[in-house]
Amino acid sequence: MKEFLVGVLVVVMALILSGIGVLLLPLLLVLGIFLRLAIGLIVLLLAIWLIGKATLFLIDVLRKKENKQSRPSFVERKQKSG
């Protein structure tokens, strides 16, 4: 008789836990969708930031290269003038 009651309690607890799982399913689906959107937004912001960072880096490199080609240094001007 004791084994029968323990078996019934195990079955009842399994049914209760599965019922809770079924009731939580819509919440888990909504959380999954929200999490997907949040991660997508974070990745999008990171991509935009990286594009801006790369653009500013390239502009800086091109300016330094342009300044080296177009302007002679102070020492070069001094040597030419005298």
User: Which residues 6+ apart lie within 8 Å of 72 measured at CB?
Assistant: 80
The pLDDT tens digits of the residues spanning 4-60 come to 999 999 999 999 999 898 888 888 899 999 999 999 999 999 999 999 999 999 999
Q: pTM of the full predicted structure?
A: 0.55
Euclidean distance between the first and the last CA atom of the chain, given in angstroms as a whole number: 115
Domain definitions of the chain by residue range: 2-81
pLDDT at 22: 87
Token duo for residue 59: 């502009």
Tokens of 18: 């599965």
